[in-house]
Amino acid sequence: MPSPPAHRLSIRVDLAGGGRIGPGKIALLEAIAASGSISAAGRVLKMSYRRAWELVEDLNRGLGHPVVTTAAGGSGGGGARLTPTGQRVVAEYRALEAATLAAAQPHLAALGEAPPTELD
C-alpha cells in the first residue's frame, strides 16, 4: 500500500513595498532565466504572456527595482533576462525556503503521526 503524501511547506513573503513573493513568481523568474523570454516562460508555466508580464510588474513595484530586463524584438529577436536584483531575489527566496523547510521538517513529520491515545 503506498504511503500517504508528505506534508509540504509553501513560503510566501509579503513585501514591504506591497505585493508578495511565493513559489509561482519564483518559478516564473526561473523560467525566464532558463528560456530568455517572458513569453516562453509563460508557456512553460501555462499562463498567458500578459499574466506573466503582470506578475513581473508586481515584483518590480513591490521590490522597487526591476527584476527582469527586456530587449525589443527585431531581426535578432527580443529577449528577457533577470537583473542582478532578480537573480538575488531567486537565490534569497530559495535559501529562505531551504532553511525554513529544514527547521520545519520535524514539525511537518509530527503532523502526520497518529494522535496519542489515553493509554500512551
Sorting pLDDT into bands at 50, 70 and 90, what band is 114? low
119 has a pLDDT exceeding 60? no
Query: Would residue 108 count as lying in a domain?
Result: no
Joined together, the cell numbers standing for residue 56 give: 513581473
The pLDDT of residue 63? 94
| Strand ranges (E), the chain | 13-14, 20-21, 68-71, 79-82
- The residue type of 42 is G
86 has a pLDDT exceeding 90? yes
Instruction: Give the mean pLDDT of 94-102.
Output: 94
Query: Would residue 30 count as lying in a domain?
Result: yes
Query: Would residue 120 count as lying in a domain?
Result: no
The pLDDT of residue 5? 64
Instruction: Give the mean pLDDT of 99-118.
Output: 80
Cell 504511503 belongs to which residue?
3
Indicate the SS3 state at residue 81: strand
pLDDT digits (tens, 9 = 90+) for 30-54: 999 999 999 999 999 999 999 999 9
Contacts of 66 (CB under 8 A, 6+ apart): 60, 83, 85, 86
Query: Would residue 49 count as lying in a domain?
Result: yes
Indicate the SS3 state at residue 35: helix
pTM: 0.84
Provide the domain count of the chain: 1
